[in-house]
Amino acid sequence: MASSWWGDKEEHGTPVVVKMDNPYSLVEIDGPGMDSSEKARRSKNAKQFKWVLLLRAHRAVGCVAWLAGGFWGLLGAVNRRVRRSRDADAEPDAEASGRGRHMLGFLRAFLLLSLAMLAFETAAYLKGWHYFPRDLPEHYLRQLPEHLQNLPEHLRHLPENLRHLPENLRHLPDGLRMPEQQEIQGWLHRAYVAWLAFRIDYIAWAIEKLSGFCIVLFMVQSIDRILLCLGCFWIKLRGIKPGLKAAANKRGSKYADDDDLEDGDDLGAYFPMVLLQMPMCNEKEVYETSISHVCQIDWPRDRMLVQVLDDSDDETCQMLIRAEVTKWNQRGVNIIYRHRLSRTGYKAGNLKSAMSCEYVKDYEFVAIFDADFQPNPDFLKLTVPHFKGNPELGLVQARWSFVNKDENLLTRLQNINLCFHFEVEQQVNGIYLNFFGFNGTAGVWRIEALEDSGGWMERTTVEDMDIAVRAHLQGWKFIYLNDVKVLCELPESYQAYRKQQHRWHSGPMQLFRLCLPAIIKSKIPLWKKANLVMLFFLLRKLILPFYSFTLFCVILPLTMFVPEAELPIWVICYVPMIMSVLNILPAPKSFPFVIPYLLFENTMSVTKFNAMVSGLFQLGSSYEWVVTKKAGRTSSESDIFAMAEETDTATRPAPRLVRGVSEAGLEAWAKTHQLDNKDLQLKAQAEEVTSLAAAIKKTSKAKPPNRIFKKELALAFLLLIAATRSLLSAQGLHFYFLLFQGVTFLVVGLDLIGEQVS
């Protein structure tokens, strides 16, 4: 238009017709040729303005209805998830114990208190209550506006409209009196001012002391991580590896049988008797692959014996494992099947029972493989030669590798954590200290070292760490081989991973209580005692979960409601990011997951802290052992072995089959070779086992429903409430950290990470 909206000048342009989504059809805006009288234009524009307002109100109502419907749908989905979770919890959970209920009750009370504080702080924020007590901290004064920092103390508490009065008006005559703030603001404001004074004098002081203590622990643990990384870097730079005194250290995987060995080769003269133990319990998904890989280990058949130690209480699983043992027995493998009627002592009791057999005295070494491990054929030829000429060596530990590390986000994050453990912690401790925690599998023990250390004990759920500590106190040395890898499977469901981590973090604290007197009384050097107590147990098993949970899940949300005790940015952001980058260096392909890894480790600190307290004070489920559920993933190497096996069996006559091996031991196993076989019965039995295995695989494909994890959900809402409070005070990085950490807790609490494994 030429001059103004209501002017008389002629308007140029074309008419515009706007179609409105309301009962009225069209609204025509002014254009050339229309009535130019002021009254008509004003009437038409008023009508247009009315329809625009109606349209916007209609859209606003629709948006609110959409948000309300989405929120209601989310609540319904959560409610259905909770009901399905309760129906799916057929097995006892750690939260069913008194310890779990107490911690969950504490988190609920903490959440309700945070909600009340958020409502109180929001009301104060909306009313503009920004009052401070008389003795302001120095950092609070720096946060005041510049024109208020130089005001006298008594003027900082004046209302805003009185601070700029002339000096002669601030001092009233004797007959007049300025009303007190309490008289103006009312009881709610007085309560808020009293809360501020109490908060600064007592709560902020306690939080600052606790946060300072946790920051010191955090820095000590960070320095330990940095030193470990530097040690690993030096090992890689100098190419340091455990020495092999045998001459054929570089040819360990060459020899397929005795005919390939040359006279004079140190390795050829060293084929000691080796016992291979496979403890398992209801391992329907992985027993076949694991037994197949162990039975194909390249070692003289008369120099090794495979013990399948089955603790299964499922008769179907027992039948399947027994049939698999029978199959490999008829292919010339010395393999026996042992089953216990009672699962006393869990894995430690199973191994202890197997070592009590009379024929074990004929063997010098024992290799242990859990049910999901798939060793390569040259495993023994790469590990056993390290014992030759080294009588002080008690253990050779191999590294784990994972067949399903890229299966989902949960397995990727686990791979980061375990790669750092094996590549850095185990390797550095093995090279410089000759001691590390035995990983419970994929290792070879000298049987003399086991017996000298007291054998397997059933007193904790970490029998592998227990025997390693006792062997170290007896003076035995350990070797870690980072280049020898054994394939295994990572837990693919969060529930299975959670239970595994509970056992891994409650057991060490339980063991620490039991081993501390023995460590103090032992004859090992003082620096080894200090390493065991200060680094191995306290720093890496107790301090890490304590400060992670306390600092990031308790103190940080509290500081949003107590801003006088604010945590520095470098504690919240910079140092954790540096530590996460260091942790991810052994798995460089996982670098895009560095931030999810940091958030997920903070989320897991709840489970680890809970387990640590449980094991330290012998509470609830500190001696709970739940077998980690597996999906039965196999490697590409196993497929190659299967193809070669099928080709081999197609070109040679089928071996004779005998009945399953007796459970009593080697003597009973030897007698079974002399029994006449009934081919028809065995064929029917094989067909029955095959159909049974197919039925199990078919039923295992159905995924169970997702579960609800109440502790993680409670902390998710707590962190999101703290993020809302941080948004009110515009604290920047604190808000983003709390928001993303709260969302991570929410995702984990709703069981949206990983897969459901039946």
Nearest alpha carbon to residue 94 among 691, 506, 588: 506
* Residues 221 and 227 sit within 8 Å (Cβ to Cβ): no
376/551 Cα distance (integer angstroms): 44
Average pLDDT score over residue span 37-48: 57
Q: Which residue has the tokens 């984990």?
A: 748
Lowest-pLDDT range of 567-571, 574-578, 696-700 = 696-700
Q: Is the residue at 747 inside a domain?
A: yes
pLDDT band at 665 (very low <50, low <70, confident <90, very high): very low
Per-residue pLDDT at 634: 65
* Residues 453 and 476 sit within 8 Å (Cβ to Cβ): yes
Per-residue pLDDT at 142: 52
Same domain for 231 and 317: no
Measured in whole angstroms, the distance separating CA 293 from the mean position of its chain's CA atoms is 29
Phi, psi (5° rounding) for residue 711?
A: -65, -45
Average pLDDT score over residue span 218-231: 94
Per-residue pLDDT at 56: 75
DSSP assignment letter at 283: -
Q: What are the tens digits of pLDDT across the range 670-689?
A: 444 444 444 445 455 555 55
C-alpha distances in Å from residue 259, one per residue of 181, 255, 263, 269? 100, 8, 10, 12
Same domain for 361 and 305: yes
Domain membership of residue 205 as a residue range:
96-130+183-239+547-608+707-757
Chosen domain end from 449, 464, 491: 491
Pure H helices in 556-678: 556-561, 569, 575-584, 594-616, 636-650, 666-672
Numbers of helices and strands, H then E, in the chain = 28, 9
Lowest-pLDDT range of 182-196, 275-289, 418-432 = 182-196
Same domain for 369 and 232: no
Per-residue pLDDT at 731: 66
Same domain for 452 and 376: yes
| Residue 464 annotated in active site | yes
Q: Count up the domains in the chain and report the number.
A: 2
Q: Is the residue at 288 inside a domain?
A: yes
What 3-state DSSP class applies to 364? coil
Same domain for 284 and 208: no
371/365 Cα distance (integer angstroms): 19
Same domain for 480 and 567: no
Tokens representing 498?
Answer: 């959670």
pLDDT band at 370 (very low <50, low <70, confident <90, very high): very high
Same domain for 355 and 444: yes
Q: What are the tens digits of pLDDT across the range 510-520?
A: 999 999 999 99
Average pLDDT score over residue span 262-286: 77
Chosen domain end from 466, 491, 516: 491
Which of 370, 372, 464, 466 does the annotation list as catalytic? 464
Average pLDDT score over residue span 588-608: 93
Same domain for 581 and 459: no
Q: Say whether pLDDT at 232 is over 90.
A: yes
pLDDT band at 283 (very low <50, low <70, confident <90, very high): confident
pLDDT band at 198 (very low <50, low <70, confident <90, very high): confident
pLDDT band at 53 (very low <50, low <70, confident <90, very high): confident
Q: Say whether pLDDT at 324 is over 50.
A: yes
Same domain for 323 and 458: yes
Per-residue pLDDT at 514: 93
Share of the chain above pLDDT 70, in %: 65
Q: Say whether pLDDT at 415 is over 90.
A: yes
pLDDT band at 2 (very low <50, low <70, confident <90, very high): very low
123/112 Cα distance (integer angstroms): 17
Which of 30, 310, 311, 466 does the annotation list as catalytic? 311
Q: Say whether pLDDT at 59 is over 80.
A: no
C-alpha distances in Å from residue 165, one per residue of 160, 171, 304, 599, 600? 10, 10, 97, 52, 55
What count of other Cβ atoms lies within 10 Å of the Cβ of residue 680? 8
Average pLDDT score over residue span 357-366: 94
742/740 Cα distance (integer angstroms): 5
Average pLDDT score over residue span 710-715: 88
pLDDT band at 727 (very low <50, low <70, confident <90, very high): confident
pLDDT band at 622 (very low <50, low <70, confident <90, very high): low
pLDDT band at 435 (very low <50, low <70, confident <90, very high): very high
Chosen domain end from 465, 491, 517: 491
Q: Is the residue at 167 inside a domain?
A: no
Q: Say whether pLDDT at 732 is over 90.
A: no
Amino acid identity for residue 500 in this structure: Q
Q: Sign of the CA dihedral 65, 66, 67, 70?
A: positive
Same domain for 736 and 589: yes
Highest mean pLDDT pick, 72-81, 323-332, 646-655: 323-332
pLDDT band at 267 (very low <50, low <70, confident <90, very high): low
Q: Say whether pLDDT at 205 is over 70.
A: yes
Phi, psi (5° rounding) for residue 344?
A: -70, 130
Same domain for 434 and 290: yes
Per-residue pLDDT at 648: 47
DSSP result, 85-127: HHHH--S--GGGSHHHHHHHHHHHHHHHHHHHHHHHHHHHHHH
pLDDT band at 130 (very low <50, low <70, confident <90, very high): low
pTM of the model: 0.72
Give the residue, 61 or 121, on which the prediction is more confident: 61
Give the residue, 40 or 331, on which the prediction is more confident: 331
Q: What are the tens digits of pLDDT across the range 628-658?
A: 777 767 654 444 344 344 434 444 443 333 3
| Residue 311 annotated in active site | yes
Q: Say whether pLDDT at 228 is over 50.
A: yes
Per-residue pLDDT at 76: 67
pLDDT band at 364 (very low <50, low <70, confident <90, very high): very high
Tokens representing 136?
Answer: 């302001």
Mean pLDDT of the chain: 76
Q: Is the residue at 534 inside a domain?
A: no
Give the residue, 269 or 602, on which the prediction is more confident: 602
Q: Sign of the CA dihedral 233, 234, 235, 236?
A: positive
Average pLDDT score over residue span 316-340: 93
Average pLDDT score over residue span 141-169: 52
270/364 Cα distance (integer angstroms): 12
Give the residue, 687 or 498, on which the prediction is more confident: 498
Q: Is the residue at 261 inside a domain?
A: no
* Residues 409 and 753 sit within 8 Å (Cβ to Cβ): yes
Same domain for 343 and 207: no
Per-residue pLDDT at 438: 95
What 3-state DSSP class applies to 397? strand
Strands 443-446 and 393-402: antiparallel
26/20 Cα distance (integer angstroms): 6
* Residues 504 and 462 sit within 8 Å (Cβ to Cβ): yes
Amino acid identity for residue 116 in this structure: A
pLDDT band at 707 (very low <50, low <70, confident <90, very high): confident
Q: Is the residue at 552 inside a domain?
A: yes
pLDDT band at 264 (very low <50, low <70, confident <90, very high): very low
Is residue 420 packed enough to be buried (19+ CB in 10 Å), middle (13-18) or exposed (0-12)? buried
DSSP assignment letter at 754: B
Q: Is the residue at 511 inside a domain?
A: no
Amino acid identity for residue 171 in this structure: H
Nearest alpha carbon to residue 552 among 730, 722, 724: 722
Lowest-pLDDT range of 265-279, 289-303, 361-375 = 265-279
Per-residue pLDDT at 218: 94
Give the residue, 380 or 34, on which the prediction is more confident: 380
Give the residue, 141 or 370, on which the prediction is more confident: 370
Average pLDDT score over residue span 483-494: 93
Per-residue pLDDT at 413: 94
Q: What are 365's strand-pairing partners?
A: 274, 446
Q: Say whether pLDDT at 661 is over 50.
A: no
439/442 Cα distance (integer angstroms): 8
- CATH number of the domain at 418, please: 3.90.550.10
Per-residue pLDDT at 342: 82
pLDDT band at 427 (very low <50, low <70, confident <90, very high): very high
Q: Is the residue at 230 inside a domain?
A: yes
